Structure 1
């Protein structure tokens, strides 16, 4: 199925309307009169989107939206492209992420023109295929986007294997941080950002996802967005260690120099490793504090 910009929906949330979104069209005009859009030029903008066979109503987007509105004065725009993402034909969906991203890039330009939104305000966040969508959006927009978080395990099939230039990379924004939780399987294996975070070596199964059920439900692939959500509520939950590799981390040859997630050091460069708990709360930051 091929689509046009009308198949992408932009849902705007603030603390004044945390549950009922204001729908913006592709030119960033609200579907009904509202003063809430005045908020756009004044506070940080978090745009969040989903991946394959998902939507902006699912956990990967809703949990992050709720966490931001509970803790920060921001605008959140949940981007829904489910009319194409819901297709069972993954190769077709993957192929069209570049078009989805280009439309979102045009929408970013419309936000800038209509509400004076600037690139320094903009933080794009995407899960799986959504990470590549956001990379494309930033690279095609006239804005220089401040940050992209491919926090949600950027999809590997048809992006890393086979290799393509139409994937998220460090040239797409001033700072690109990535969380790998199913690397080499459903998520990309190699570093694609300025800072790449590999909790539990970044591979499946993640703690708590052992067994066939964990693989079948893409538990490890989804773990990235749960970690990111927790990092919004608790910015110091995930101290991360810059290391040459996992073995170096296990041997204790590294020191914490950044945090995974929302409070990632924007000057961080390289690969970062850490361990998490099996179940929520996943972060071990409090455990490290107690040892001091």
Structure 2
């Protein structure tokens, strides 16, 4: 008898909204993906590790609250991206039976039970020669706190935990042992992109990333590989306001890596954290609305000369070699005369993503209200570098 694809290759549990309404009891299923079997999962458990190679890195992906019962739409892409970037075991932790409910506290109450099941599995891995250094957990929503609970059971010796939008309700204000925190792994990085809704607002890791300030994410990538096509650079800063006001546009000259990178390679910046007490950093960046999501940041210095002050703003448009135009607005407090002119003594443009590139300048420019002025900047003189 020929098996169909669903029978041959186990897939993530799919439940109906009816299941969410009546509630589901907890059942955890572990599905292993490897470079050899990237699209066809193998169901494993603590008594049958299957083809899992304990000498290689093992990444656990743990989803969160599922109010409709549907599988996470991002799961397949994340699995493929992880296997594509490094040969490893990828274990999808399917606890949809338990996470599927319209009553959020019911799902949250099952997080520690999921963590205990994962510990039982990891114990068997360790017994067969695995190393805690090679265990990486990626947890989304409630899954972020599940990762933290597992890490706490191993006294923070797990290699790494990444928390994606850690759940806020029932975890906000809780002590470290009741949520994800930096002591749960050797390196903990967190991406906050829903802090005005169900996400956790405060810092939870060694480094916490806040795309677009951590609030609304227009078209924002949902996983650590969302901006994989280019390097998403973040800027350590105390607040999103300070970042937007240009107060945090340098990560320090002469360092091996000037600014932290979002995503899979975020741990390359951890050497910069241990000089801090506690070793925690907030980092901010902005994203575009469409793929590849990354934005190249530029810093603009403007020196104007005016006799009287009048409030206004300047709109700056940059046209790239591909013809695409990006636009930004700068508020200022100096427009002069009844015709609202602004005399710019000099304007300097410098790349933040590529600080080694030459700075570009424009000198002695008169701007008129509601009139676009086009110009091509030239390399700055040595005095303006």
Pair 1:133-2:152 in alignment: no
Q: State the TM-score, normalizing by the size of structure 1.
A: 0.81
Higher strand share: 2
Pair 1:266-2:279 in alignment: no
Two-structure CA RMSD over aligned residues (Å): 2.5
Q: Distance in 2 between matches of 1:121 and 1:27?
A: 20
Distance 1:51 1:19, change over 3 A: same
Q: Contact 1:238–1:283 at 8 Å: present in 2 too?
A: yes
Q: Distance in 1 between matches of 2:239 and 2:293?
A: 21
Per the alignment, residue 238 of structure 2 pairs with: 244
Distance 1:58 1:80, change over 3 A: same
Per the alignment, residue 17 of structure 2 pairs with: none
TM-fit CA distance, 1:145: 0.1
Q: Distance in 2 between matches of 1:179 and 1:285?
A: 19
Match 1:11 to one of 31, 55, 61 = 31
Match 2:40 to one of 3, 20, 25 = 20
Q: Distance in 1 between matches of 2:222 and 2:287?
A: 14
Distance 1:78 1:259, change over 3 A: same
TM-fit CA distance, 1:88: 1.8
Per the alignment, residue 229 of structure 1 pairs with: 225
Pair 1:112-2:126 in alignment: yes
Q: Distance in 2 between matches of 1:95 and 1:18?
A: 32
Give a deviation string over 1:13-49, Cα, whole Å, max 9, x none.
111000111211133533xxxxx32x331x2211111
TM-fit CA distance, 1:285: 5.2
Give a deviation string over 1:114-170, Cα, whole Å, max 9, x none.
3x11111111001111111111122124782010000x2001011116778421111
Q: State the TM-score, normalizing by the size of structure 2.
A: 0.63
Structure 2 unmatched runs, 5+: 1-22, 252-258, 274-279, 299-350, 358-385
TM-fit CA distance, 1:189: 0.6
TM-fit CA distance, 1:260: 1.2
Per the alignment, residue 157 of structure 2 pairs with: 144
Per the alignment, residue 67 of structure 1 pairs with: 81
Q: Distance in 1 between matches of 2:73 and 2:130?
A: 27
Q: Contact 2:62–2:92 at 8 Å: present in 1 too?
A: yes
List aligned pairs for 1:26-105, cutoff 5 A: 26-30=46-50, 36-37=51-52, 39-41=53-55, 43-53=56-66, 57-105=71-119
Distance 1:143 1:242, change over 3 A: closer
Q: Distance in 1 between matches of 2:91 and 2:137?
A: 10
Give 3-state SS (helix, strand or coil) of 1:77's partner: strand
Pair 1:196-2:208 in alignment: yes
Q: Distance in 1 between matches of 2:354 and 2:175?
A: 44
Q: Distance in 2 between matches of 1:56 and 1:270?
A: 35
Per the alignment, residue 216 of structure 1 pairs with: none
Structure 1 unmatched runs, 5+: 31-35, 209-222
Per the alignment, residue 218 of structure 2 pairs with: 207
Higher helix share: 1
Greater RCO, 1 or 2 (C-alpha within 8 Å, sep 6+): 1
Per the alignment, residue 217 of structure 1 pairs with: none
